Amino acid sequence: MNLPNDKNSPVYNFFSVEGLTPEEIEKIAFESGFCKRRSGKIKAPDFLLHFCLQSLEGTVSYNDIASRMENNTDINASRQAYHQRMGAECLEFFEKILGAVMASKCYHENSDSLQDLNLFSRILVQDSTIIRLPLRLFGDFSGVKNAHTAVCSARIQGIYDLLSKKFIAFSIDPYSKNDLSAALDIVVEPGDLLLRDRGYFSVPIIQKLKEDGADTISRYKHKTKIFDFKSGEEINLLEYLTKHGSIDQEVLIGKEKYKVRIIARPVNEETANLRRMKARKESNHKKPSKELLALMSWTIFISTAESQELTFDIILKLYGLRWRIENIFKTWKSHFSFDKIHNVSEKQLRVLLTARLIMIVFIYQRLFAPLFLKIKEISEKQLSLMKFSRYIRQNLNVIYKILDIQNISEKTIQAVIRFCTYDSRKRKNFETQIEQIILEINETMDCNLLA
């Protein structure tokens, strides 16, 4: 069978918008070793497309992919043939495709006001999510085990740029590789800003990222030692905040005594009590210390960013945008069968998860982001990621109708508006929040330049 170069071909239309023509896909397949001869029965572009689509529907057994390929193409390979292909070369092939999809130029790039931030080139958030796996994979991915039960899990790390609305990297790791162990896996560039929770907090890592040109904003981790920048004397943070109410100054932290900025403001009593209740609930029968509970009356940040444009209010709003990646993880699990895993081998599992990541990145960057802008231009409605993901999952054929965003039909766009946009509400969504934050930062910078 010749490669489907026809403009009406599903393979051509689906991946060509990412710059991945069937010829390019086949080239990657040969480079990775997935394909070894051009006369082979299984064609890489068809296999990639149908495996990725099948991955969104849940399990992808060898029988499933064999029947799907035969029903949609003229390929009639046996399930044993697909089993033989599911090795390290197949995984490398899918990983290279994922990298190409993440690196592809988005439709909305250079046309979105979010690119106008003058302070940072990228704002990166990193988070992880846990998925349950079959027990047969316990030796490969670890988990939790006691005398009575055993649970096998994998940890998926994701890094996302809030400005370009693009995923930067993914990793599929054993459960035992916690967030701190993955904190330095990120490749930063000068001008980056990282927003991280306490799970990634480490003074040497903060110092290393700063040396590489990236600033960080992290929540303060209890028991981290703080020293006065001038005198070098240790500061009792609780006593200082109790006396002064707030803090915004350069200090030295940790045994390394690395220079950072600490910023803290009090919160209302209701918020403080909710934090304390959550801390007691998650303490695993070990009561939080009185000092820790008392410090929950403040929101405390550690940052290496020295710019005065980053006031406490701006930092608080920026940090609040971390929930975007958490929302994306929730969407994966709710609508893309991400944690639905059948009894597979370790290699087959990694291929399956990578296929789902390809589809998730594709749907988010190539469909959701440009559609958000399109709908914003023609109506007062705003596209909901959760509703849109559910709509796509239930109507996979819609993908082909919206691949060419410039020529999308009026019928299709109105259907998306009707089923996938937010209802009227007072709470601002993510896009509105980040636009407002960037506007505030740029206005502050402009005022400082004029002063």
What's residue 143's pLDDT? 76
pLDDT computed for residue 434 by the predictor: 65
Can you say whether residue 397 is alpha, beta or left, with left for phi > 0 and alpha for psi between -120 and 50 degrees? alpha
DSSP for 79-125, written as a single string: HHHHHHH-SHHHHHHHHHHHHHHHHSPPTTTTSSGGGG-SS-SEEEE
Distance CA 386, CA 331 (A): 6
pLDDT < 50 stretches in the chain: 1-11, 108-115, 449
Q: Which amino acid is residue 221, in one-letter code?
A: K
369-374: Cβ within 8 A, 24+ apart: 369/106, 369/107, 369/108, 369/165, 370/106, 370/107, 370/108, 370/405, 371/402, 371/405, 371/416, 372/108, 372/431, 373/108, 373/111, 373/112, 374/405, 374/408, 374/413
Helix, strand, or coil here: 301? strand
| Residue 431 tokens, joined | 């896009």
pLDDT in tens, 96-128: 999 988 887 655 444 444 445 567 889 999 889
C-alpha separations of 328 from 160, 165, 348, 364, 386 in Å: 10, 12, 24, 9, 8
Alpha carbon distance 31, 25 (integer Å): 10
Do 338 and 356 touch, CB atoms closer than 8 A?
Answer: yes
Report how far residue 169's alpha carbon sits from residue 51's, in angstroms, rounded to the nearest whole number: 21
pLDDT at residue number 106: 58
Task: State the pairing for strand pair 247-253/258-266.
Answer: antiparallel
23 burial type by CB count under 10 A (0-12 exposed, 13-18 middle, 19+ buried): exposed
Q: Where are the domains of the chain?
A: 10-103
Q: Which of 138, 134, 172 is nearest to 155 (CA)?
A: 172
Residue type at 216? T
Tell me which DSSP letter residue 364 carries. Answer: I
Distance CA 237, CA 234 (A): 9
Q: At 299, phi and psi to the nearest 5? A: -100, 120
Q: Radius of gyration (Cα) for the chain, nearest Å? A: 24
pLDDT at 429: 62
What are the Cα distances from residue 21, in Å, to 17, 200, 319? 8, 39, 39
